[in-house]
Amino acid sequence: MQVSSTSENLAVLVESLNFAQKIDRSLGLIREAYEEYGDGLVVANSLGKDSVAVWHLAKRVDPNIRGFIVTTRYKPAETVAFMNEEVARYPELRVFRSDEPLPDRLYETDPDRCCDVLKVQPVRQAIEVMNVECWVTGLRCTEGRTRVDYREIEERDKGLVKLNPILLWHEREIWQYLALYQVPVNPLYAEGYRSLGCAPCTHITSDQNERAGRWVGTSKCGGECGIHTRPLKVGATV
Ligand code: SF4
């Protein structure tokens, strides 16, 4: 599978492709990667709206495709309940978490360190334990300021391909897809949340930036937990 060149203008495609074309493109990307990597292709499922859309797309390509969930001690009760429902529906979803002791309320004083221990390290573990060669994400380039420079196929870690099959989708198109296919979603969306994470670091926002409600009041506001920005292969330089 070819790592994306910069020849296609993704910003133009975001606006020019229609909803059905985006679905076809996403399915094609997953299908092509699955043909190449087989069981080495694994979907990262954060239990957010984008992840459940990608998970549904992957299951349309092949019901045997595996996935992993990273959970933390700070996930809202609703997310934990939804996770348990998803794992019951799809036993091929494996759950990873870190129980490493941390200072109390570290998310207030050093959210980068907190995310590194509770999110990035379990993703590294999942990638190693599940022998992942290609991980599939729900990244979208219209989510906010930190997500504009991704490609649909990347290799930021040597030997680990990252596939972002819904990179071109708008937030509205995610909801369109989930409604049309009646995909179950985390009940917190009904309360007005648009981007979900751990309870202390997730707020409701009406900002244009969909992720503006994440890490409010910290240096990380509207930012990233690190799984899309830090090396993930065990043994890589951190
Ligand atoms: S989102 Fe907040 S609570 Fe969760 S791991 Fe990151 S800093 Fe810690």
pLDDT digits (tens, 9 = 90+) for 134-143: 999 999 998 8
Chain-wide mean pLDDT for the chain?
A: 91
Please identify which residue in the block is written with the tokens 């937990």: 225
175 lines ligand 1 (CB under 6 A): no
Residue 94 DSSP SS3: strand
By the 8 A CB rule, do 38 and 64 touch?
A: no
Nearest CA to ligand 1 atom 1: 198
How many CB atoms neighbour CB 171 within 10 A?
15
225 lines ligand 1 (CB under 6 A): yes
164 lines ligand 1 (CB under 6 A): no
Distance 197 CA to ligand 1 centre (A): 7
Distance 227 CA to ligand 1 centre (A): 12
Range of lowest pLDDT (2-6, 17-21, 146-150): 2-6
Distance 223 CA to ligand 1 centre (A): 12
Would you state the pLDDT for residue 237? 45
pLDDT band of 7, cuts 50, 70, 90: low
For the chain, strand residue ranges (E) read 41-44, 66-70, 93-96, 134-136, 153-157, 160-163
pLDDT band of 212, cuts 50, 70, 90: confident
How many CB atoms neighbour CB 222 within 10 A?
19
In the predicted model, what is the mean pLDDT of residues 74-81? 97
Residue 70, pLDDT > 80, answer yes
How many CB atoms neighbour CB 106 within 10 A?
16
Distance of alpha carbon 109 from the chain centroid: 25
104, 123, 225: residue to mutate for ligand 1 pocket, most atoms within 8 A of CB:
225
In the predicted model, what is the mean pLDDT of residues 189-196? 93
By the 8 A CB rule, do 68 and 96 touch?
A: yes
Distance 46 CA to ligand 1 centre (A): 13
By the 8 A CB rule, do 121 and 150 touch?
A: no
Residue 238, pLDDT > 60, answer no
Alpha helices in 96-214 (DSSP H): 106-109, 111-115, 121-129, 171-180
Residue 236, pLDDT > 60, answer no
Q: Can 225 be counted among the known catalytic residues? A: yes
Nearest CA to ligand 1 atom 5: 115
97 lines ligand 1 (CB under 6 A): no
Give the helix/strand (H/E) hosting 199. none
Could you tell me which residue, 46 or 205, shows the higher pLDDT? Answer: 46
Q: Using CA atoms, how far apart are residues 83 and 179, in angstroms rounded to an integer?
A: 19
How many residues are listed for the chain in this entry? 238
Atom of ligand 1 nearest to the CA of 199: 3
Distance 111 CA to ligand 1 centre (A): 6
70 lines ligand 1 (CB under 6 A): no
pLDDT band of 108, cuts 50, 70, 90: very high
Would you state the pLDDT for residue 122? 96
Would you state the pLDDT for residue 228? 79
- Write 205-212 long-range contacts (CB < 8 A, 24+): 209/143, 209/144, 209/145, 210/142, 210/143, 210/144, 210/171, 211/143, 211/144, 211/146, 211/147, 212/144
DSSP tag of 217? T
Amino acid at 37: Y
Beta strands 160-163 and 153-157, pairing class: antiparallel
Would you state the pLDDT for residue 5? 52
In the predicted model, what is the mean pLDDT of residues 88-96? 98
Would you state the pLDDT for residue 207? 79
- The helix, strand and coil proportions of the chain, stated in percent and rounded to the nearest 5, come to 40, 10, 45
Atom of ligand 1 nearest to the CA of 197: 1
107 lines ligand 1 (CB under 6 A): yes
